[in-house]
Chains A and B, each alone.
Chain A
Amino acid sequence: MTQPEQTHPGEADLLAAIHREDVAGSGIREHIAQCERCAERTQLLSDEDLAVAALLRVLDHPAPVALPGLPLARLRRGRLRRAMLVAGPGALLAIAAAAAVLPRSPVRQWMHRGNAAAAVAPSATTIESAAPLASAIAVVAPKSLVVEFRREQLSGVIELSRSSGTDVGFRSRGGTTAYQVAAGRVVIDNQVAAEAYLIDLPATVQEIQILVDHRLLMRWPADSSRFAVSQHPQLARVFFTRGAIP
């Protein structure tokens, strides 16, 4: 059955239908399915569209294998600095004075520990993340890295991917996570278990150990054959399980 000329959609509408955009209304796709002429026009337009897509792909550089980390930590540091500048040194003095008189404050404990204790220097500087809750941080890449999950977790996955950056990036999907960074060690406080933790590793990181509540979950490269994803050589996937590596 032939339809009147004016009922056929224009080519712009057909292209929108190919792109699954409904700017011309939802009836277009039904019309194409029923009208042989419009189906042919759509096919021609689709071929053109694909040809353009193929030509534009010629311009592409290889896409990054892993996304660079979202620099949340950098922004927080900037905000913290700004906040401290605004608060001024007076406020800092007041905080220090208050900390010194509070019975169980670290400042007071330090003051009472005496010279002998002060002589024992910590082996690593521990910096609490600037914000209490964080979903992503980036840290300077060490040669050997220990990642420790503070709390037991029996579901979810850790994805390790090689990146071309210079920092190790940590991100989490879901859950509530805080980070504590020391030299060669990142402690992830998985307060509410996330479904996935994504770790971007630059090539300078040669060894990695992952601990969950003090049990060893994975060593890299020793356990690489167990965790490498065969189709993606740049990717390793570690599922949280109860078993520990002996």
Chain B
Amino acid sequence: MRADYSTSRFEAELTRLYHAKYRSLYRYLDRVLGDDQLASDITQESFVRLLDRGSLPEDPGAWLVSVARNLMRDHYRRTEGRKRLLLVGGNDAPRPSAAADPSAAVDQEEQRREVRAALDRLGVQEREALLLRHAGYSYREIALTLDLTETNVSTILLRATASFRKVYQELYRDPA
């Protein structure tokens, strides 16, 4: 009886976590992978792994990102020889054609390519920290995921923000 109660409580907590964290994880993965279907699959699989674990870790948000990053690595290891993460001209899955104007769609695609190219110029830690932060993760979650201290996270984010803007402007826009 106690086991049923615990299971039910764990599942209730997991369901709450799922609603709180699904979008952040999906957003991060979608931006890294450029493939919404794969991002959705890995997000889902990460929660399944947590469900299979049977109990919540100390920091479930960071735990989920770490699992998702491992799944992402496994996926790319399996499909070695295919496109590399954040490759210039990357592996963006086609988007539903929201733009009625074809030239606007081309502009959007061009800008996506530019943003990916600028991200690709950052160091791995800077890029990861930036993507996690802008997907909604806290400094603590980023620190746990990237094995840093929270103070390091703020320094890295500052550097990443400045570098990203600078690279993007140098590559594609006249400096103001």
Contacts and interface: CB of A to CB of B under 8 A. Distances in A.
A12 B158 contact: yes
B26 A64 contact: yes
Contacts of B31: 56, 59-60
Interface in A59-80: 59-64, 67-68, 70-72, 74-75
B158 A15 contact: yes
Given A52-B164, A59-B30, A19 B139 contact: yes
Interface in B15-44: 15-16, 18-19, 22-23, 26-27, 30-31, 34, 36, 39-40, 44
A78 to B, nearest CB: 8
Interface of B: 4, 7-8, 11-12, 14-16, 18-19, 22-23, 26-27, 30-31, 34, 36, 39-40, 44, 47-48, 51-52, 92-93, 95-96, 98, 108, 111-112, 115-116, 118, 130-131, 133-134, 138-139, 150-151, 153-155, 157-158, 161-162, 164-165, 168
Contacts of A74: 48
A23 B40 contact: no
Given A12-B158, A55-B115, A136 B11 contact: yes
15 contacts: A19-B133, A21-B138, A23-B151, A59-B31, A59-B112, A61-B30, A61-B39, A64-B26, A70-B14, A70-B47, A72-B15, A132-B4, A135-B11, A135-B15, A136-B11
A74 B44 CA distance: 12
Contact of A72 (B11, B108, B112, B130): B11
Given A67-B19, A75-B51, A133-B4, A48 B162 contact: yes
